[in-house]
Amino acid sequence: MIDPIADLAEMAAAAGTLCHVDACLGGWLLPFWEEIGEPVPAWNFAVEGVTSISADIHKYGYCFKGASTVIYRDVALKRRQHFMFDGWPGGLYGSATTAGTRPAAPIAAAWATIQHLGRDGYLAKAEMVRDATRLFLDGVRSIDGLEVTGDPDMSLFEFSSSDGADATGAIGDVMDDRGWHLDRQQGGLHLMISPGHLAVADAFVADLAEAVATRGVNRGVEATYGGVAD
């Protein structure tokens, strides 16, 4: 879900403090998500009171880890990020990040990825993610005994068995055996949909339906969830 940024920013402004939006996951998808016609609540600098935003390129920016972005509403705020120190024998030390020296390769790769995809590429991938998300959600909802948590705002969602945590864990076990490694959270099984999932949506739903039907019976073990067996 997307947090109520407008309300939070209003509270921050009333308190005279900054409001940082952690858009590390959605920051590289939400702008294009909105452009392809999906509903997106106000979350960025269009919201008065938002002073900075972070977004990870290795998620929906489709690059590997090692480079990320942070942007500020104005240059004056950005300048406060810089660290300068001359109280040591090595002369003036300056850094734009708390990490100090950074490897250039991930930054170059991120730049190359963004240049390669461009706006059209990101829009096309947003459509693939949107279409895959609908197929996955429709498939999960079509299986008796499964429940999607809430009403997902974007392309991440969680589902669980109406029979409880043990049944949910057993379904996850069967999906593991079939090569689907779902993220196990306290409320259920979690998915983050990517463009590549569009081609495997039908196979996933078919395997999930069988996993629900068997719930680990064929494994010859009791259901497990969170590493605890009943």
Structure tokens at 129: 């993610």
Single-letter amino acid, residue 11: M
Please check the confidence at residue 94 and state whether its pLDDT lies above 90: no
Name, in order, each residue with C-beta under 8 angstroms of 119's C-beta and a sequence gap of 6 or more.
Answer: 32
Instruction: Please give the pLDDT value at position 220.
Output: 44
Q: How far is CA 113 from the centre of its chain?
A: 18
Instruction: Please give the pLDDT value at position 218.
Output: 52
Sequence ranges of the domains in the chain: 5-122, 125-220
Name, in order, each residue with C-beta under 8 angstroms of 157's C-beta and a sequence gap of 6 or more.
Answer: 133, 136, 137, 140, 148, 149, 150, 190, 191
| Structural class in CATH, domain 5-122 | alpha beta
Instruction: Please give the pLDDT value at position 172.
Output: 96
Name, in order, each residue with C-beta under 8 angstroms of 155's C-beta and a sequence gap of 6 or more.
Answer: 29, 129, 130, 132, 133, 192, 193
Question: What does the pLDDT average to over 125-139?
Answer: 98
Instruction: Please give the pLDDT value at position 50.
Output: 98
Q: Dump pLDDT digits (tens) for 153-181.
A: 999 999 999 999 999 999 999 999 999 99
| Structural class in CATH, domain 125-220 | alpha beta
Q: Dump pLDDT digits (tens) for 188-230.
A: 999 999 999 999 999 999 999 999 999 755 544 444 444 443 3
Residue in 58, 84, 57, 69 with CA at minimum distance from that of residue 20: 69
Q: Dump pLDDT digits (tens) for 1-33.
A: 999 999 999 999 999 999 999 999 999 999 999
Q: List helix spans (H) across 80-144.
A: 104-141
